[in-house]
Amino acid sequence: MTTILQKLKSEVRDELIHNILPFWAGKMIDTKNGGFFGQIKGDGQLIPEADKGGILNARILWSFSSAYLQEKNPLYLEMANRAKVYILDHFLDASFGGTYWTVSFDGKPVDTKKQIYSQAFFIYAFTEHYRASGDESSLQTAIELFRIIEKYSFDPELNGYFEAYSRDWVLLEDLRLSEKDENEKKTMNTHLHILEAYTNLYRVWKDEELKKQLRNLILIFTEKIVNQKTFHLDLFFDENWNTKSTIVSYGHDVEASWLIDEAARMLGDQELLTEVQEICINVAFASCEGLQADGSMVYELEKGHLETDRHWWVQSEAVVGFLNAYELSNDQEWLEKALKCWIYISENLIDWAGGEWFWSVSDEGIANTNGDKAGFWKCPYHNSRMCLELMLRVEE
């Protein structure tokens, strides 16, 4: 077993340091306008005047910070610092607080809405930069964003967090992250990434209010978001927590199965952790409804229609989620699932010629070159985090 895990660690480390990160450090640097370019298409075409997304920039900051934390390669810290400077100069709203959704290729605000999902990713990223660099200003930025989310987004009457605001913090009518989302006031996705961000912040800042809200988020998942009958995640809710969607997102199921566990571990409450870990195993098991014979995981189920494309981020989260389930249960079948999914990734999703990963692969095994190679949603975060998580877990 040790030999298998060490081989897995070696393979994912090789993928991280020889393919994923060199792509972003080599092809995405915008030397003219600062920071990183906003888009490279799936066929490799650079779009130098594409808008630059907040999600993309936060995830670049997180990825290079986390890579430096483990690998101590000076280039990674240089890239992280580059991302940090650009974010501070162009994405932070000095007048109203929080961060913009998008800026233009030359750094001017384009969409100034305050999507809470995005604020959470900046907390996650600045916290990781603090962990990597010891830069106190990054920690303070993360804390300021935490306080902004709590001030404007938290619902003290019905619990949870509202989705999106105008630049000056008025709740928007159109709350959606993307066109495919339901226009509802509370969503699983935003809560998952607030949970992720608060977990990382609590790792380095043992604040009592943060601790209380992190525990509350865990309970929101176990009591409201995880469907008690199916153990899938319900995705969209009104402000009263009535479920407004029947979509099953297999990638989010398996991602949540390890992020909720991580949050509970960070709190250190053994009674809560025992309860949570049983739920996490059940959520991981429910996600396996999307698992295919070749080891991959399909995208989602909506109104009886199965979306069978194998998206890059879903496979990344499946590998981590299955490895986490193996750690919790010591059931070797989970490890076999993780290994099989990694083999699928290496044989199908990694673009060995052009670098990075394809957006997705069809059920017939055809790589999607229409989806971005790098862009607003196609970032180095899911796949680099998969590599880093596996490297760390095998080491431990």
pLDDT at 179: 79
Q: Which helix (H) or strand (E) holds 53?
A: strand 52-53
Q: Is the pLDDT of residue 114 over 90?
A: yes
Q: What are phi and psi of 159, to 5 degrees?
A: 75, 160
Predicted confidence (pLDDT) per residue in 356-394, tens digit: 999 999 999 999 999 999 999 999 999 999 999 999 999
- CA distances 189 to 47, 163, 234, 278, 299, Å, are 28, 10, 10, 21, 15
pLDDT at 181: 81
CA dihedral 342, 343, 345, 351 (to 10 degrees): 130
Paired sense of beta strands 186-187 and 236-237, if any:
antiparallel
Which domain does 328 fall in, by range? 2-395
Predicted confidence (pLDDT) per residue in 248-301, tens digit: 999 999 999 999 999 999 999 999 999 999 999 999 999 999 999 999 999 999
pLDDT at 180: 79
Predicted confidence (pLDDT) per residue in 61-103, tens digit: 999 999 999 999 999 999 999 999 999 999 999 999 999 999 9
pLDDT at 178: 82
> Residue 123 in contact with residue 193, Cβ under 8 Å?
no
Q: Is the pLDDT of residue 149 over 80?
A: yes
pTM given for the model: 0.98
CATH number at residue 181: 1.50.10.10
Domain count along the chain? 1
